[in-house]
Amino acid sequence: MLKHFTLLFIAPNLAFRTPNGHRFAFFFTYFAATANQYILIMKTLEKIATLALLVVCQLAAMSQVTFTIPKLPENTPKGSDFFLAGSINGWQPNVDSYKFTPNEVGVLTLKIDSIPSEFEYKICRGNWTSVEVDSTGRDIANRIYVDSLGKNFSLTIKGWRDRFPDKAKVSTASKNVNFLPTSIEIPQFGKRRTVRVYFPQNYASNQGFPVIYMFDGQNLFDNSTAFAGEWGIDEILDSLNYSKGFSAIVVGIYHGENDRINEQTPWSNLEKKGGDGAKMAQFIVKNLKPYIDKHYRTLPDRDNTIIAGSSLGGLMSLYMTLEYPEIFGKAMVFSPSLWWSEKAFEQITKFKKRRFQKIYLYAGEKESESIIPNIEKAKDLLKTAGYAENELLLNTNPLGKHNEEWWGIEFYSALKWLYGF
């Protein structure tokens, strides 16, 4: 009987990728082996594969971060769901993959595998009206995760915004900030919306004024209506009128609370969420702007019409700049949520530029890991689409965070570049 024979053995490459992106590979080559050697080789490969899987599992466990909520405020509504919302997920308040679930002993737990080295976040019950607050009902600063702090975090929730009675808050808006006489109808959605308008200090003169249309009107002028602090638009423009002689009308469009994501995303994302931003854009162009031009002393031409916003509002501002170049000659695109859909980049790629437009792009380096690469990609695509150096400016701030305070700081610089004063 033939005891020995030769096999040309081809060992496969074994490659593994851990949840946080590390790749491990084991490579083998062609070699000749006897039958006994072949059996030994196969057993060795089996051990290597088992060891590799153990390594992968251990690395996954090492990269995993666990958040727990051991105790809830006594007035927490029964049946509530709890979510982590932050720069890690675009500040969306109800993403299923960031939902806390009870562990084996009933403690609310969230485990995240792939995580950046640093991000800001808060805990909420599925929307921003039920976000966590302090024990007196006041807003709290964003929580900050830093990988050097460890892998397990026990969170203390002291209260929920919607579980405190409404307090008489003192308005911080300037006297020249006014609500429209009545809420304005959005026929595209079959609902009405609050709009607040800033008028320059010299509005009593007979001149016309540029108009800046801005998203998330609750956060522009007034701490009493803002989610986490205001931009301070009215104070900035009051100061500019005094120091530079620059004046403009600002139209602040209130967002739709729980409908904000849907109304401020021009496309659905991979989870089939959102996508009605085009209707909101139509409302601004076909209904709101004609109303403002009819009732107030505006300069209605495109060179004096600006669209502006941050986060999802920044995404919408960029979308509307390209979708309605005949309406908007200038744009402020702050911290745009370009991560929402690849179609944001596709829109730029397909854009046929025919008019002069000035676009001011801004992002803070402390916002998220993707914000700077995404906004730089957008700038490069806009340059490829035909935007010249004097039409496009990207400003980044190494300390900038994803909040109204930083956007307010940048607002002055954006106006200065857009209008050249």
pLDDT for the residue numbered 114:
81
Amino acid, res. 277: G
Kindly indicate the confidence band of residue 27, based on its pLDDT and cuts at 50, 70 and 90: very low
pLDDT for the residue numbered 38:
59
According to the per-residue pLDDT averaged within each range, which of 101-110, 139-148, 161-170 is highest? Answer: 101-110
- φ/ψ of 295, rounded to 5, equals -100, -15
Q: For residues 138-142, give the mean pLDDT.
A: 86
**Whether residue 7 has pLDDT greater than 80:** no
pLDDT for the residue numbered 118:
86
pLDDT for the residue numbered 26:
40
Give the integer Cα–Cα distance in Å for 195 and 207: 23
- Give the model confidence (pLDDT) of 299-324 as tens digits: 999 999 999 999 999 999 999 999 99
**Whether residue 154 has pLDDT greater than 90:** yes
Spatial CA neighbour of 332 closest among 398, 416, 271: 416
Position with higher pLDDT, 34 vs 75 = 75
Q: Where are the beta strands (DSSP E) in 6-151?
A: 7-10, 14-17, 23-26, 30-33, 65-69, 83-86, 101-102, 108-112, 118-124, 132-133, 143-146
CA distances from 63 to 82, 115, 166 (A): 23, 8, 42
**Whether residue 403 has pLDDT greater than 90:** yes
**DSSP symbol at 96:** G
The answer to whether 148 and 160 are in contact (CB under 8 A) is no
* pTM as predicted: 0.76
CA angle 132, 135, 138 (to 5 degrees): 65
Which residues lie below 8 Å from residue 182, measured CB to CB, with a gap of 6+? none
Which residues lie below 8 Å from residue 420, measured CB to CB, with a gap of 6+? none
pLDDT for the residue numbered 42:
66
**Whether residue 1 has pLDDT greater than 70:** no
Of the listed ranges 115-119, 268-272, 386-390, the one predicted with least confidence: 115-119
pLDDT for the residue numbered 250:
98
Of the listed ranges 169-183, 243-257, 313-327, the one predicted with least confidence: 169-183
**Whether residue 181 has pLDDT greater than 70:** yes
Q: For residues 232-260, give the mean pLDDT.
A: 95
pLDDT for the residue numbered 11:
44
Q: For residues 415-421, give the mean pLDDT.
A: 95
- Give the model confidence (pLDDT) of 45-74 as tens digits: 666 655 655 544 444 444 789 999 999 999
Give the integer Cα–Cα distance in Å for 277 and 318: 12
CA angle 401, 132, 138 (to 5 degrees): 85
pLDDT for the residue numbered 228:
77
Average pLDDT, the chain: 88
Sign of CA dihedral 122, 126, 131, 132: negative
Q: For residues 198-214, give the mean pLDDT.
A: 95
Q: Is 72 exposed, middle or buried (0-12, 13-18, 19+ CB in 10 A)?
A: middle
Give the integer Cα–Cα distance in Å for 197 and 263: 20
Domains of the chain, CATH where assigned: 7-63 (no CATH), 65-163 (2.60.40), 177-419 (3.40.50.1820)
Of the listed ranges 114-118, 125-129, 244-248, the one predicted with least confidence: 114-118
Residues in the chain: 421
Work out the percent of the chain whose per-residue pLDDT is above 70: 84
Q: For residues 351-357, give the mean pLDDT.
A: 96
Give the integer Cα–Cα distance in Å for 211 and 189: 24
pLDDT for the residue numbered 393:
98
**Whether residue 188 has pLDDT greater than 80:** yes
Position with higher pLDDT, 161 vs 344 = 344
